[in-house]
């Protein structure tokens, strides 16, 4: 962690020392990014735990009943650390020993099922999406075609199939949410299906077993700095009252045989 911390720290200092842009907003944004990197670097070097807020609304958007007190502008997931990870061949890894670590308050079903989505940030990127899932939220109509292009959307065919999917954070089959910009990110085919979908299918199967089944769920796209293509996605879920559904994972947004430019979503064959 010391070496990683020093690398991040030097990156922040280098960003701070670069020739400043002319626009005032751009200068302010760069200073904030540099300060964030320096803070993260020092924390990593000193062995301190790092957590980072995911930009979102002060008042969450709900589909049904009002969500509990925790809003979608923050996540307990170690976003800053996850953003600095490098893919080494294992596309899905566990977080916090696979423990989703929702509090008793977060698992409350008193207000019924709900969904909550972060506002798009200054770069138009989606943030953390949360839900208390139940069979009531599941769609009763077929999904319609998607038209919104999330950040990093530079799609093309690779090896006979499309490189990217418009990936739902809270899956359509779980919530009925479809063409919602706050619920979409650019994800590789490999990230979206089979990896994310495998967890969504498990949750959907559990919910269909009983109208009294609930699952607390959170999905957070993980971006590095001001990049437009997410480095990966953090997913955690816990069924209420039992451990049938219980996981906390991070999935790298990669595609075999393709080199991705996370700055803008462009790509080239390896």
For 110, other C-beta atoms within 10 Å of its C-beta total: 8
Whether 153 shows a pLDDT value over 90: the answer reads: yes
- Exposure on the CB side of residue 142, measured as CA atoms within 13 A: 2
Q: Which CA distances in Å does 144 have to 131, 139, 176?
A: 22, 11, 10
Mention every residue, 6+ apart, whose C-beta is less than 8 A from residue 206. Answer: 213, 215, 239, 244, 245
Contact 129, 120 (CB under 8 A): no
pLDDT tens digits, 106-152: 999 999 999 999 999 999 999 999 999 999 999 999 999 999 999 99
Q: State how far Cα 169 lies from the chain centre.
A: 7
152: which 2 tokens?
């990093």
pLDDT tens digits, 58-83: 333 344 443 543 333 467 899 999 99
Q: 3-state DSSP call for residue 212?
A: coil
Residue 69's pLDDT is 37
Q: 3-state DSSP call for residue 172?
A: helix
- Show the CA angle centred on residue 122, arms to residues 119 and 127, nearest 5°: 40
């Amino acid at each position: 962690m010391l070496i990683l911390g020093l690398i991040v720290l030097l990156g922040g200092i280098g960003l701070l020392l670069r020739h400043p842009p002319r626009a005032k907003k751009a200068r302010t944004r760069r200073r904030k990014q540099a300060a964030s990197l320096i803070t993260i670097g020092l924390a990593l070097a000193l062995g301190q735990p790092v957590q980072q807020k995911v930009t979102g609304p002060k008042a969450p958007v709900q589909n049904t009943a009002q969500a509990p007190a925790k809003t979608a502008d923050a996540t307990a997931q170690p976003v800053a650390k996850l953003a600095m990870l490098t893919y080494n061949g294992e596309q899905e890894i566990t977080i916090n020993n696979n423990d989703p670590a929702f509090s008793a308050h977060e698992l409350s079903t008193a207000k019924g099922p709900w969904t909550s989505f972060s506002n798009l940030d200054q770069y138009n990127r989606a943030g953390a999406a949360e839900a208390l899932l139940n069979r009531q939220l599941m769609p009763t109509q077929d999904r319609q075609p998607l038209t919104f292009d999330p950040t990093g959307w530079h799609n093309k065919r690779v090896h006979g199939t499309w490189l990217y999917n418009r990936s739902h954070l809270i899956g359509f089959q779980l919530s009925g949410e479809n063409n919602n910009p706050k619920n979409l990110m650019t994800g590789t085919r490999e990230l979206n299906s089979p990896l994310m979908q495998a967890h969504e299918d498990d949750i959907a199967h559990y919910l269909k077993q009983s109208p009294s089944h609930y699952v607390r769920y959170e999905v957070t796209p993980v971006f590095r700095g001001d990049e437009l293509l997410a480095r990966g996605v953090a997913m955690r879920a816990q069924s209420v009252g039992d451990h049938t559904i219980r996981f906390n994972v991070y999935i790298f947004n990669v595609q075999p045989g393709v080199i991705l430019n996370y700055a803008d979503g462009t790509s080239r064959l390896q």
